[in-house]
Structure 1
Amino acid sequence: MSRFYLFIFLIIASQAEAQEVSALAVADSLYAVGNYSAAIENYERIPSKEESVYLKLARAHQAKGTLDDALINYVKAASSTDEVIAMNEYGKLLITKGKFKEADSVFTKLISVYKTNPEFYYQRGRASENMPRDITLNALDSTEERTMTLFPYLKDYQKAVALDSTHQKALSELATFYLKRKDFRMVEKIAFKALESYPTNVEIIGTLAQSYYYKGWNEETITWFEKLISLGQNTQFIREKLGNAYFKDRMYELAIKNYLEALKFSPEDAHLHATLARLYNYIEDLKAAEMHGLFAILYKDQPLDEEYYTLSRTYEMKKDWANAMKYVSHSLKENPDNKNAEYTRAIVADNYYEDKRAVLKLYEDFVKKYDSSKYAKYDSTLKLAKERVTSLNREIFMADDSEEK
């Protein structure tokens, strides 16, 4: 009789195990196709969960975005033979949740066991970088010692690279760090090291392009930002920086092309419109310059002196003296010390006003204001203004003499 009951028990147990296996298989299939809520429901139905099931639950909750539940299940999963996997994922999720101190502790424990795993050092660096800390500096310390005191996470990024010279994320963090400190030599050294093993790393290429941009090396800036675009990267930041590099190299058509691309991301950006107005002035496309100049004024908050000045230059080139005077006057109202606008006003008046004495006064006021400046003798605009004062005095004298006769 006892054998009969044992037989019944084994049948029931095998059926329960089959049901559990079935529920797990269904849950795994649901997770695989992204139906995370249904997958969680099926994982939760499994009566006697092993740590591996808690790991699956944690991943499903993380994928769904219910991160607090994910953390709870990672903790339950972290006591099995998959402990290191669960702990690693748990630590990364702690970083995502902004629990940097806890994440630092998790990866420190992992490093104590797995001392040659570069990823754990990288992740601890991420956590440490965002942790608040009390810092005490010693005036006698070397620059390197002070740097390591201020930025202790650098050691972890450097250790990750020492263990794996191709660790792209650690290399990228180091390159970004040195870019912020304007240590361009180190940026380029690290970037080229990273590109040896991964030539299409867009994060590294972007950092390298910025390094050259801030150094003012336009040719290299253009090369690397163009490389980013060829790799499918296309942002307002990239287009603006590339456009500016072309602008500085006086490649105006290419500059315009990139600023127009930047404008697609931010159609009401006053700075982009103002820059395009200037560029179109350079190539004498005055219709386009006028349009972008007007948009720059429309979209920009105060002050507007530069935008008004650029638009006045457009109308000056079109010989529309009335509008040129209108907008240069607006510019000077915004900023009475805009030297370029002051000189432009005199030129516009010279072509617009019939009263030459009024024109003469504008030139004389300009000369009087800037003749005592430190670099007056090198100022070509001042020299031209003085020459015009002389010729206007001659014209007025001759006109007066003619009237007397």
Structure 2
Amino acid sequence: MKLFFILTVLLLQIKAEAQTSTLAIADSLYSIGNYSNAINEYSKVGGLSSALQIARSYNAIGNYEKAITQYQYVVQEDVTNQLAQFELGKLLLKVKRFEEAKSVFTDLSILNEGNPEFQYYLGEVYKELNKADESLVHYKNAVSLDSTHLRSLFQLAKHYTIKQERDNALKFILEGLAYYENDVSLINLHGLVLFNDSQFEKAIPLFEQVLELGEDKDYVYQKLGYSYNKNWEFKKAKEAYAVLLKRDDTNSQTYFDLASVYQKENKLDSAKIFINKAMDAQKPIFANGYNQLAYIAREQKDFKIAFKFFEMAHQEDKSDARIYFNIATTYDQFGSDLQKKLGYYENFLKHYPNEHPFYYETARKRISELKEEIHFAKE
């Protein structure tokens, strides 16, 4: 009997040592990215720890369905395993199984109310489900649990920046930057908030910092060029637009923006050159080009040419009330036919009745004056 007991202990010890050896091999294979062979070795060991490693291995090689099945097995066997649930929830979110992900992260947030990550990921799930109000609640919950939770602060700041709610956006941007002053995403949002608020002088150093931090993107140069122009820094504006044109010389908007710089400098011949280049770059869309050429002609007091370009712009885009209003006012400046002047203003009110009050009142007042002039001219 004693001999049998000793043999049993020895067999168990040998089995445990074999499992330990197999597990060590599996862990070694996993650590160097040899996931398929690691799965085979973990399968020999068995147990929940090995099942979790198999799930991770399937996840690593992109076999997401098998990974989910393994994670679900681990969670089913041990409902207190928050790590397995957390990894399962993130994977479900990744493969767009949002309702299932929501269920997992909701359970986790109940298990561990003080974890900001679970709140953040609930926010991510609700964002994907197009439930913005719910997502904001969970991002704010994450921040209340951890005031330095940058990803939640960024999502809140981004939401309010897009909505152009300046004060709310700045609140979360500045909270994030107080913790990490070189967060390029938050600095970029800070610049955009100020840009959208027409605070171009304050936006400039932020966009410059974004570039210095390696975010060398076209939209940054576009915002910088526009801000430099608004801040009367014409040389820097031209340099920003030159970078964009070097990268893409077919973008008509960059030519238009550059023309605006020269126009503001009163270098009208150069402005014309870039407007024409813009129109060549994107020939189907001429309205903006004709409109800008008309403004330049009007600045040069050549009202007949301005009128011609405004008419051409109107032919390209009849939805823009400002273009037709400029047709009316420009003809009013050089034309001699009172009936024709009256007709332009009446057509404006007829076709664009709900435009800006200034346009409406100007047209209405001018119609009254012209009718009086026509009446006295007949007498």
- Same fold by TM (over 0.5)? yes
1:210 partner SS: helix
1:116 partner SS: coil
- Sort the Cα spacing of 1:256 and 1:2 in 2 relative to 1 into closer, same or farther, 3 A: same
Count, aligned residues: 342
- Sort the Cα spacing of 1:253 and 1:369 in 2 relative to 1 into closer, same or farther, 3 A: farther
Q: Deviations over 1:288-341 (max 9, x none)?
A: 6565434321332544032145468889999xxxx9999888557546956768
Q: Residue 109 of structure 1 aligns with which residue?
A: 107
- Unaligned 5+ runs, structure 1: 32-37, 134-149, 348-358, 380-405
Tell me how far 1:10 sits from its aligned partner: 6.1
Report 1:241-252 matches (<5 A).
241-252=223-234
Q: Does 1:72 align with 2:74?
A: no
2:55 equivalent among 25, 46, 58: 58
| Aligned counterparts of 1:129 and 1:329: Cα–Cα separation in 2 | 46
Answer whether contact 1:277 1:311 (CA < 8 A) is retained: no
Q: Residue 94 of structure 1 aligns with which residue?
A: 92
2:135 equivalent among 153, 164, 173: 153
Tell me how far 1:54 sits from its aligned partner: 3.0
Answer whether contact 1:237 1:262 (CA < 8 A) is retained: no
Q: Residue 287 of structure 2 aligns with which residue?
A: 305
Q: Residue 398 of structure 1 aligns with which residue?
A: none
Answer whether contact 1:331 1:341 (CA < 8 A) is retained: no
Q: Does 1:27 align with 2:24?
A: no
Answer whether contact 1:297 1:304 (CA < 8 A) is retained: yes
- Sort the Cα spacing of 1:243 and 1:16 in 2 relative to 1 into closer, same or farther, 3 A: same
Tell me how far 1:166 sits from its aligned partner: 0.9
Answer whether contact 1:52 1:80 (CA < 8 A) is retained: no
Could you tell me the TM-score, scaled by structure 1's length? 0.68
| Aligned counterparts of 1:179 and 1:307: Cα–Cα separation in 2 | 31
Q: Does 1:213 align with 2:195?
A: yes
Q: Residue 255 of structure 2 aligns with which residue?
A: 273
Q: Does 1:296 align with 2:278?
A: yes
Tell me how far 1:223 sits from its aligned partner: 2.6
Answer whether contact 1:293 1:307 (CA < 8 A) is retained: yes
Report 1:131-280 matches (<5 A).
131=129, 151-264=133-246, 266-280=248-262
Q: Deviations over 1:101-156 (max 9, x none)?
A: 211211121121211111111111211233367xxxxxxxxxxxxxxxx7123222
- Sort the Cα spacing of 1:109 and 1:328 in 2 relative to 1 into closer, same or farther, 3 A: closer
Q: Residue 370 of structure 2 aligns with which residue?
A: none
Answer whether contact 2:328 2:344 (CA < 8 A) is retained: no
| Aligned counterparts of 2:109 and 2:265: Cα–Cα separation in 1 | 61
Answer whether contact 2:310 2:326 (CA < 8 A) is retained: no
- Sort the Cα spacing of 1:4 and 1:125 in 2 relative to 1 into closer, same or farther, 3 A: closer
Q: Residue 40 of structure 2 aligns with which residue?
A: 44
Could you tell me the TM-score, scaled by structure 2's length? 0.72
1:200 partner SS: coil
| Aligned counterparts of 1:77 and 1:166: Cα–Cα separation in 2 | 32
Q: Residue 373 of structure 2 aligns with which residue?
A: none
Q: Deviations over 1:179-229 (max 9, x none)?
A: 233321121122111111111122222222221111111122223222212
Tell me how far 1:88 sits from its aligned partner: 1.1
The share of aligned pairs that are identical, in percent, is 24
- Unaligned 5+ runs, structure 2: 347-358, 367-379
| Aligned counterparts of 2:210 and 2:263: Cα–Cα separation in 1 | 29
